[in-house]
Structure 1
Amino acid sequence: MSTTTAPQAELSRPIVAGVVTALVGFTSSFAVVLAGLRAVGANDAQAASGLLALTLSFGLGILLLSWRSKLPITLAWSTPGAALLVSTGAVDGGWPAAVGAFLAVGVLVVLTGLIPALGRLIGKIPVALAQAMLAGVLLSLCLAPFKALGSTPLLVIPIIVTWLLMMKFAARWAVPVALLVALVVIGVQLLVSGSTLSSAQLVPTLVWTTPGFSWQAMAGIALPLFIVTMASQNVPGVAVLKSFGFDTPWRASMLVTGAGTVLGAPFGGHAINLAALSAALAAGEEAGRDPRRRWIAAFSSGWIYLLLAALSAALVTLVAAAPAGLLEAVAGLALLSTLASSISAALSEPSERIGAVVTFLMAASGLSFLGIGAAFWALLAGLLVRWLLRRR
């Protein structure tokens, strides 16, 4: 009996790890994605379409990459990129221009896979400045849970308390369980108000948006989104897999994620990339003792993501019924650990601290000049300060 159950146990471990990877990856950050898409002009239908397009594209990408490479390669949407969209807000040209910027990001990622020099150029961006820009972008969203305490304390306190308790006893599930509590709160609100949801609102649908192009969207969304996605997702994703003994096929990964972003952009998807935080769930020992079989965990997560895509419309409908600030509060809790690690990385090198602090403050200021958001000016200011101080 032990000889038959052992192979089954070895097969079930990566499958279970894949299910956990997908559930944690999806539920812990979809609120950030919705907040980002709405901030740059998407209505509820377009935001639901974007969530659906992203989940479908990286779910299929995971299946392709993990099957062909037999490596535990997992993909995700760009959570820091979505936070960037929140801080950027609407640009000249509205939602179509934002979609055009998403399309440009996909093209840049494809070019990064095809042209090694472009990848090396991205690698020359100082890590401290890239992380400081990300931290500044995240700050406003991470303040949301605490601001909501003043406006809707009875609704937000249960979510924060749940998150804290889960962080103590089961940190991996802290945000998903807090999200579950938030959805319960929204459900109670709907019952109290007597509101109902039609079946048409629960069916996932892809909504086409013809891309528009404006130089403000290219500079304010496309360029910062590309840099954040590369520096905060793709490069760390490679490092995470490397720490478990796996060499990521860089060219194939960039081509798949870039093409997936291009295909998903007209339907509202902002960017997909290599998973960073959730990658460890499929690549580590939780996915089985035999590293050669851990690709099964990634492959399983791809199928689960495709199933979760069916929930996109229902989630957007529920979130649309949420009291003001509740979605942003959950998104802020989801990004607190990312904010902490970004600040730590930005200030870790003493010689880079002044430039990093200038970058952080500029990004957090919300400055908009010539129709271009703060992230672009933050990186520019940080590079200028860094150059001046080094020259001196």
Structure 2
Amino acid sequence: MVPTFLMKQTGTFRGLRRSLLVPATIAGALVLLHMLSPMTVVADSPADARRGGIIDITFEERVDPTGIANSTIPLFEHFEHPAPRYAVDVYSLRFWSSDFDGSPLEALATLYIPVVDQHREAPVLAFLSGTTGVGNQCATSLEEPEVIRWGWYRQNMLAYGGQGIITIFPDYLGFNNDDIPQRYFSAAAEGHLMLDALRAARNVFSERPLPIHSSVRPGPGNVTAGYSQGGHAALAAADMNLAYAPEIRLNGAIGFGSTNNVETLMREAAYYTPYILLSYRSIYGPEAIDYSRLIQPRWLPTLEEDVMRMCVDQFQTFFPFDGRDLYTPEFYAALHGNRLHRDFPLLKRILDENETGLSGHGKPVLMIQGNQDIIITNPEQRRYVERLRSSGSEVEYVEMEGVRHRHTRPAGFARSVDFIRRVTE
């Protein structure tokens, strides 16, 4: 059975380029926004979409400090549990962003606003999740951690809001869309989303009448952050900050168990590769991503169906972690023998194009790494950090004793809050 979105596009996707990406140029007209009620904003049409423009916003709930403290216990487990300083108002919103090629796409996000009685400014944080999958059912906004834990992400963002940080948490582009999969490890799509999320968070405060019930306002400081795949996105935003969103002053980026080099991820944790390949095939086309050269024949008949139907809690027990059980012998040898440039040159170019953080952006970076991480191992992360420093960034690299990949966020939370405050002062 072929996934519906592939049948619609006869194997590729409508309007996507078949050549390697170049930095997108986007000619978006300004959105005309009309306030219909204190809680609703509507954009005219996709043709009028401006990046970061608000489509609509809806108030969800106010969570007081006690509620935040209680709800975040499962997130922080045995790690330091921060005491919330503020209540947090939670909003759902849709805004405009751009796909890898610059075409407009709707994005869905949750916005967390600290509640204060007197005017004060706060930094703005855009945060993206780790891998959850690429089908719509895997959108992070659908997480029910009491049933299936992907990361206790709502609680994680409430914790940041409770520390006085305006926080926006979007679903990746491609989620909530029947025509395309999640743009998994697309540096361009992720970077656009991160920067447009910062724009959207700020645009909410310029609406009239104001749909916000707090006296907090965005200060000049902005930070991008993310866990695993989200760290890849946070550094992608740093790379394209000046070209894509020059009006946004990005003060720093944070990675928790950050997976910035896609080739390394494919080498160290093979079960992510089918998702990477499907995403890149949707962007670069089947000529660039030939499954039969990369994946063993036994996985091919239902590969795309399997990828689209399984979220992370399923595929990590379905696809093998060891590439010898997934890859063709030729691809495994080239990947582990540093010969992709010779044996798979087009794939190598695609992987290099989607590595993030090394443009020479010069932003301060905090990298939180657990010394028990098997997804991105310490030697590989140290090599990446040295390259990041060589490219011109001041990097605060923290290896945390006894911490696994999934625990980098709770273990490194206090350090991340300190970093956000320092770089945005």
Q: TM-score under structure 1 normalisation?
A: 0.22
Query: Which structure shows the bigger proportion of residues in helix conformation?
Result: 1
Query: Which structure shows the bigger proportion of residues in strand conformation?
Result: 2
